[in-house]
Amino acid sequence: METDLIRKRKPERYRQYRQYRKLVFAAAAGLGAVAILAGIIWGLAAIFPKNMPPVSSGWQRVKNFTSFTVLGKQPQLYYLDIEKNGKVYRITPRDHFEVTYKDEFIITGVASDDLRGKGITVDIDGTGRRNDFQVLMKGIEFVDRLMKQVGAGGETHTGGDYRIHVRYRDREIGTIPLKIVLLPQDWLRHAQGSASERHQIESLRKAIAANPNDMGIRKVLAGIYYRQGMFKAAGDEYERILKINPHDGGALKELARCHQSQKNYEQAVKALERLSAVQPNDASVFTSLGNTYAAMGAWSKAASSYQQSLRLNSEDGKVHFLLGKAYEAGNRMKEAIGSYQAALSKNPTVDEIVTALANANLKAGNNDEAIKWYNELIKRQPRNATAYANLGLAYGNKKQPGKEMENYRKALSLNPKDPVIQYNLAAALQKSGKAPEAAKHYRKALELRPDDADALIRLADMEMKNKNYDQAIRLYEKALPKVKNKASLYANLGFAYGELKVYKSSAENYERALKAGLRNAQLYYNLGFTYAKIGKRKESIANYEKFAAAQPTENVLNILMEAYMREKRYDEAIKTARRLLTITKKKGRAYANLGRAYGAKGNADLAIEMYRQALKYDREDDAVYAGLGEAYEKKALYQEALKAYQNANQLNPENQRAARRIPALKIRIIQEKHQGEE
The predicted model scores a pTM of 0.59
Going by C-beta distance under 8 Å and a sequence separation of 6 or more, which residues neighbour residue 498?
506, 526, 529, 530
DSSP string covering 551-608, please? ---HHHHHHHHHHHHHTT-HHHHHHHHHHHHHH-S-HHHHHHHHHHHHHHHT-HHHHH
pLDDT in tens, 342-376: 999 999 999 999 999 999 999 999 999 999 999 99
pLDDT in tens, 501-532: 999 999 999 999 999 999 889 999 999 999 99
Q: Give yes or no for a contact between 40 and 67, defined as CB atoms under 8 angstroms apart.
A: no
How far apart CA 185 and CA 511 sit, in angstroms, is 75
How large is the average pLDDT for residues 231-238?
91
Q: Which of 510, 471, 515 is nearest to 492 (CA)?
A: 510
Ramachandran angles phi, psi of 99, nearest 5°: -135, 135
Q: Which of 150, 170, 68 is nearest to 114 (CA)?
A: 68
How large is the average pLDDT for residues 604-630?
93
- In percent, the amount of the chain with pLDDT more than 70 equals 86
In SS3 terms, 35-94 reads as HHHHHHHHHHHHHCCCCCCCHHHHHHHHHHHHHHHCCCCCCCEEEEEEEECCEEEEECCC
How large is the average pLDDT for residues 144-154?
61
How large is the average pLDDT for residues 227-234?
90
**What confidence score (pLDDT) does residue 219 get?**
82
Whether residue 20 is predicted with pLDDT greater than 70 in this model: the reply is no
Q: Give yes or no for a contact between 561 and 577, defined as CB atoms under 8 angstroms apart.
A: yes
DSSP at 95: S
**What confidence score (pLDDT) does residue 150 get?**
58
Question: 151-165, 317-331, 399-413, 597-611: which has the minimum mean pLDDT?
Answer: 151-165
Q: Tell me the residue length of the chain.
A: 678
CB-based contacts of 306-313 (< 8 A; 24+ apart in sequence): 309/283, 309/284, 309/285, 310/283, 312/281, 312/282, 312/283, 312/286, 313/283
| Alpha helices (H) in 158-196, listed in sequence order | 184-193
**What confidence score (pLDDT) does residue 18 get?**
56
Residue 52: pLDDT band (50, 70, 90) is very low
**What confidence score (pLDDT) does residue 144 get?**
77
How large is the average pLDDT for residues 655-676?
86
How far apart CA 464 and CA 476 sit, in angstroms, is 10
How far apart CA 51 and CA 29 sit, in angstroms, is 28
CB-based contacts of 258-263 (< 8 A; 24+ apart in sequence): 258/226, 258/231, 258/232, 258/234, 259/231, 259/235, 260/291, 260/292, 260/295, 261/226, 261/231, 262/231, 262/232, 262/235, 263/295
**What confidence score (pLDDT) does residue 223 get?**
84
Residue 597: pLDDT band (50, 70, 90) is very high
Residue 193 CB: number of other CB atoms within 10 A? 11
Residue 188: pLDDT band (50, 70, 90) is low
- Could you tell me the strand order of the sheet in which 158-168 lies? 97-99, 171-181, 158-168, 120-124
Instruction: Give strand ranges (E) for 434-549.
Output: none
How far apart CA 590 and CA 455 sit, in angstroms, is 48
Residue type at 353?
A: I
How far apart CA 206 and CA 218 sit, in angstroms, is 11
Beta bridge partners of 83: 88, 106
Residue 438: pLDDT band (50, 70, 90) is very high
For 77: left if phi > 0, alpha if psi spans -120 to 50, otherwise beta; the answer is: beta
pLDDT in tens, 574-583: 999 999 999 9
Q: 458 exposed, middle or buried (CB, 10 Å; 0-12, 13-18, 19+)?
A: buried
**What confidence score (pLDDT) does residue 678 get?**
58
**What confidence score (pLDDT) does residue 417 get?**
95
Residue 57 CB: number of other CB atoms within 10 A? 13
